[in-house]
Chain A
Amino acid sequence: MDKPFAITLDVGSSRANKTGSWRTERAVYTNRMPPCNDACPAGEDIQGWLYEGEEGGAGYEHAWRRIMEDNPFPAIMGRVCYHPCETACNRGHLDEAVGINSVERFIGDEAIRQGWTVAVTAPPSGRHVLVVGAGPSGLAAAYHLALLGHAVTIKEAGPMAGGMMRFGIPRYRLARDVLDAEVQRILDLGVVLELDAKVTDLDALRSEYDAVFLAVGAQLGKRAYVPAGSAAHVLDAVDMLRDLETGEKPLLGRRVAVYGGGNTAMDAARTAKRLGAAEAVVVYRRTKDRMPAHESEIAEAEDEGVLFTWLTTITQVDAGRLVVERMELDGAGVPQPTGELDELEADSLILALGQETDLSLLEGVPDLVVQDGVVAVGPDMMTGCAGVFAGGDMVPFERSVTVAVGHGKRAAHHIDDWLSGTAPEPVVRPALATFDTLNTWYYSDAPRAHRPVLDRARRESTFDEVVLGHDESTALLEARRCLSCGNCFGCDNCYGVCPDNAVLKLGDPKAYLIDLDYCKGCGICVAECPSGAIQMVPEEI
């Protein structure tokens, strides 16, 4: 070939120069564990469904289906979950945590409005599982077992399904049409629900089924000995809330005292206000910051005019009055009596001192271990008796609807493994996406949207839902506040910032490839990834 004067080589592209050979470290796309997912007792992929929801439109249904993989109650969760996800949320370090719970509620409500359903795609297994108790744990287990192809029968002692979601959580926190809709969706999968079917002798029954999941909950109010005069009016909070649900209005009088500091105590006091009590006062033996009730419940109770008497125990109940004793905390934070007595006017006293489980049905079941009034289970949720699993409030864990739902899911998968004789797949939890793995420069400044609440006047006299839902645009903006910690959200920044064009964009969102022929290993893509979804890994040299 004729070349110009003094030219001896053909021109060529620098692409012949594979600068990837310079590299000592390479960039690798990764998935870290978002703190919300890490904290979710029900094991939801929160970052994953928020990502879907951020799309808006059809994204809501995708998001809903992602939630439903783990939890059959999005709309209920969006009302009653105490959202440990938000406590863990990295955005809390930036401005305020993402309102995950409010977005979940919007998506759950949207599913009910649109009538989205799930279907069983697994072939029938021919196995039949008995679930005892139609509370959150039992229903969740039944849902997952049904999806896995098993026949499920739920035996529920009460007249309606829902357990504590119906008989413990008042309707101003969880509207009953929402509860009914989400329970019905589970029954529509072919789950058989037998109501008023209290199991009294499990041992006789268990041979009829291939496996059993126990989720009878804890609905016996704990008794504390309080000397009471004959005219004293003392009720149990759990009984009162249950009676209210079955149509009986308890007579409480004008001034109501509630003894205890948990969520049930808050619910009892707030219910008393709604039933017409002029004054509802919570008597608690420790201080406010030591109350086991959730912060939001305390705040809502205070908003509604519920009064609190801290560091106080009740020593005697008489008609119209309580004798109370002042307490003080010792060095270890344990309340100690001071001997200082006082009187408190109260027409009735509601005891909310915690709940216990009625374990009488377990008599005769071999190898079952009961400790401190609850049933011991292994990491696979199985009790000492082979084939009998247990979860929810009757096993030794924190008691909440979300924990119970998580137990139901875990138990269902372990029951499935046990029935098929396979070992459970080892759970690999990726490293946590901590705040310092993020490059928060890139996130828009976006203050959190808080849900509207019902007027105080209506809260004091009706059982209408107190916390209202977001409209679509607010829910969408809230979803988009998610930082997508530890997981790619398709922002193209890595593709944009590579000085060597060594990040290839494959077209679909989140589809990128590091071109190792040219990647020099500078690490800019890692440093400038907003969500910390890329990491540097040393090359083997």
Chain B
Amino acid sequence: MPFQEIKLYQAGTFVAGNRLLDPEQRSVQARTGRSNSLTSGHRACQGCGEALGARYVLDAAMRATDGKLVAVNSTGCLEVFSTPYPESSWQLPWLHSLFGNGPAVASGVAAALRATGRDDSRVVGQAGDGGTVDIGFGALSGMFERNDDVLFVCYDNEGYMNTGVQRSGATPPGAATATTKALGPEPGNVFGQGKFVPLIAMAHEIPYVATATVAELRDLEYKVEKAMSFHGARYLHVFVPCPLGWRAAAADTIKLARLAKESGVFPVFEAEHGEVTEVSRIRRQVPVEEYLRPQGRYAHLFGDPGRPDVVARIQARADRNIARFGLLGEGDE
């Protein structure tokens, strides 16, 4: 754990609040005065991981910048469910342009703030995995390469959920989507495609790159706060389960995020200037099957006779993450 973990206080720092801790030691989300950057009444599905992740990130960023924050949004669920004209769920200055140009608009806003001498205001760009990994990727790479003073946040739910659950460059192998049906000898999304943008961001050697999940609030808030302590291009990739697209129970959103990390499917780490500096180690390791089974998009792997071979390949990918990032070893036990 990169952040200061507090042990032996019943629930330690695993929960949001914990009445036994000083108020200063509690998470932003546990405070009555949190900014609720994304307020109630938004039209996200029941149990939306992205809505949760966006509030976690922006509330923490609002706190870190004393409320001087502008958000730029690419098209995607996050834009559609939060701002059906004329209503808005955003309780901070918020700007939307197109699907593909979010990072470029964010760069422009940062430049405009600098040009008008408002250096104290900071910019967050945000998008789903479609807007980040696929459609906005060129603009994002440019933003990184120019080291523009923007924290870009990708809420990764592994597909184009808003338009009907199509495959994106972040859809994992084996997962069924509308465009990668659970049919044929290789059901679901194929192996050997797709990309993991955090590593590409690191290749730009920008000041700060981190991954996080909605299951570890403290870790997420710590990373947002740390990102806001840097100037220049920063990238945060947040794993946000999607009950609709993953065909999972709405109540399981956080559980799935936790299992993704604990199985090694999603590595949680942070990197500075292209080097990994910290990893969140697995606390209670589980086989990938435990993560896959509750999700309808993997149901074809567990029918009768099922596809244990495909599950084994997914396990091998998780094992590779575990080895590559050193996710095992001394945990926090």
User: What is A's interface to B at a CB cutoff of 8 Å?
Assistant: 7, 9-19, 22, 54-55, 441-446, 477, 480-484, 489-493, 495-502, 505, 507, 509-510, 515, 517-518, 520-524, 526-528, 530
Contact B11 A530 (CB under 8 A): yes
Sample of 12 more A-B contacts, CB < 8 Å, known A444-B14, A480-B20, A517-B40: A15-B41, A16-B41, A443-B12, A444-B9, A484-B10, A492-B26, A496-B29, A497-B217, A499-B48, A499-B52, A518-B41, A522-B46
Hey, which chain A residues are within 8 Å of B86, CB to CB?
7, 9-12
Judge whether B87 and A493 touch: CB under 8 Å.
no
A277 vs B252: C-alpha distance when bound (angstroms)? 64
In the complex, how many angstroms separate the beta carbon of B318 from the nearest chain A beta carbon?
19
- Tell me the chain B residues, 228-256 only, with Cβ under 8 Å from chain A: 243, 249-255
Map CB proximity to A onto B271-290 as digits: 1 under 8 Å, 0 otherwise. 00000000000001000000
Contact between chains at B55 and A527 (CB < 8 Å): no
Known: A484-B10, A490-B17, A501-B55. A507 touches B32 (CB 8 A): yes
Query: How many contacts A-B (CB < 8 Å)?
Result: 173
Instruction: Indicate if the CB atoms of A22 and B46 lie closer than 8 Å.
Output: yes
Chain B residues positioned under 8 Å from A19 (CB to CB):
40-43
Chain B residues in 8 Å Cβ range of A527? 251-252, 254-255
Instruction: Flag if B46 contacts A9 (CB, 8 Å).
Output: no
Docked Cα-Cα span, A14 to B88, in Å, equals 5
Tell me whether B10 and A501 are in contact (CB under 8 A).
no
18 residue pairs of the A-B complex, CB under 8 angstroms, read A13-B41, A13-B88, A15-B40, A17-B41, A18-B41, A441-B14, A441-B284, A480-B20, A491-B17, A492-B15, A492-B30, A493-B15, A496-B30, A499-B48, A507-B32, A520-B47, A522-B46, A530-B14
Residues of A within 8 A of B39 (CB): 13-15, 501
On chain B, the residues within 8 Å of A17 by CB distance are: 41-43, 87
Q: Inside 8 A of B48's CB, which chain A residues have their CB?
A: 499, 522
Most B CB contacts (10 A, CB to CB) among A443, A520, A524 go to A524
Residue B146 CB within 8 A of the other chain? no
B32 nearest CB across to chain A (Å)? 5
Q: How far is the CA of A521 from the CA of B299 in the complex (A)?
A: 25
Main SS of chain A's interface residues? loop
The answer to whether B16 touches A496, judged by C-beta atoms less than 8 angstroms apart, is yes
Check A14 against B18 for contact (C-beta < 8 Å).
no
CB atoms of A522 and B47 under 8 A apart: yes
Contact of B55 among A499, A517, A522 (CB under 8 A): A499
Question: CB-nearest residue of chain A relative to B54?
Answer: A499
Main secondary structure of the interface of B (DSSP, over half): loop
Would you give the shortest CB distance from B238 to chain A, in whole angstroms? 13
| Residues 296-333 of B at the A interface (beta carbon under 8 Å) | 332-333
Contact present for A13 and B89 (CB under 8 Å): yes
Instruction: Please determine whether B40 and A491 come into contact, CB atoms closer than 8 angstroms.
Output: no
Q: Does residue B27 face the partner (Cβ distance < 8 Å to A)?
A: yes
Q: Answer whether residue B51 sits at the interface, using C-beta atoms and an 8 A cutoff.
A: yes
Of listed B29, B85, B86, B254, residue having the most chain A CB within 10 A: B254
Measured CA separation A496–B47 after assembly (Å): 13
Q: Are A11 and B254 in contact (CB under 8 A)?
A: no
Task: Report if B36 contacts A (CB, 8 A).
Answer: yes
Closest chain-A Cβ to B253's Cβ sits at a distance in Å of: 6
Contact of A444 among B7, B19, B55, B89 (CB under 8 A): B7
Nearest residue, chain A, Cβ from B14: A442
**Contact between chains at A445 and B333 (CB < 8 Å):** yes
Which of A444, A492, A495, A507 is B12 in contact with, Cβ under 8 Å? A444
B49 at the interface (CB under 8 A from A): yes
- Chain A CB within 8 A of B167 CB: no
User: Nearest-CB distance from A532 to chain B (Å)?
Assistant: 13
B64 at interface (Cβ–Cβ under 8 A)? no
CB of B44 within 8 A of chain A? yes
Known: A13-B41, A19-B40. A492 touches B18 (CB 8 A): yes
Please, which residues of chain A bring their CB within 8 A of the CB of B258?
441
Report B-chain residues with C-beta under 8 Å of the C-beta of A16.
41, 87
Could you tell me if A526 and B251 are in contact, using CB atoms closer than 8 angstroms? yes
Question: In the complex, A510→B87 CA distance in Å?
Answer: 33
Bound together, the chains give a CA A509 to CA B10 distance in angstroms of: 15
Chain A: minimal CB distance from B72 (Å): 18
